[in-house]
Structure 1
Amino acid sequence: MSTLHVLSHSPFGDERLDSCLRLIGTDDALLLCGDAAYALQPGTAPFMALNARGLKIFVLAEDAQARATAVPGWAQAIDYPAFVELSIHHDKVNSWL
């Protein structure tokens, strides 16, 4: 059973990303939206944690663009229709509120 984990809070303000990474499974995916896009800033602890895990990582393109954050090769920028497709593709969606 696969889960799409949706994270929208900055990884620099709390522990949501760390908690998510402890629970995420090999068939799961992670979508970064809103301030969670800051996790893709090169050289930061969140960036290195995401890069090291080899997960399926997506980011809403407009959120990365609004935060002037480049999308690394190991993540995929998507739009809202692709977000809907991801939601349908996975068995569950877990929003880290």
Structure 2
Amino acid sequence: MSTLHVLSHSPFTDNRLTSCLRLLGAQDAILLCGDAVYALQPNSAPLNALAARVDTLRLFVLAEDSQARGLQVPDWVKSVDYPEFVELSIHYDKVNTWL
């Protein structure tokens, strides 16, 4: 069963991203939104943790949030808009929002 994990908290203030990566299944994906997009800051530990899984990780970022924070999205991360976010939510069997 596939799960879309939605993260919205900064990876610099808690360990949600680390916990999510530990529990991530082979069919799962992550969507970064809100302050979670700060995980894409260049040369940061969160970005390095994500990049270490580049071959198997399905990673999405809400384009509006990365643009609002002035963050460059790496080529291996897919930017999505709100309609695409809805499509992702339908595509995966479950959606787990890390509150």
* Aligned residue in 1 for 2:61: 59
* Aligned residue in 1 for 2:38: 38
Give the alignment's Cα RMSD to 1 decimal: 0.5
State how far apart, in whole Å, the 1-side matches of 2:72 and 2:27 are: 25
Displaced runs of 4+ in structure 1, greater than 3 A? none
State how far apart, in whole Å, the 2-side matches of 1:46 and 1:20 are: 12
* Aligned residue in 1 for 2:82: 80
Unaligned runs of 5+ in 1: none
* Aligned residue in 2 for 1:14: 14
Unaligned runs of 5+ in 2: none
Measured against aligned partners, the alpha-carbon deviations of 1:46-97 in whole angstroms (never above 9, x if no partner) come to: 0000011121000000100000000001101100000000000000000000
Report the TM-score when normalising by structure 1.
0.98
- Matched residues, number: 97
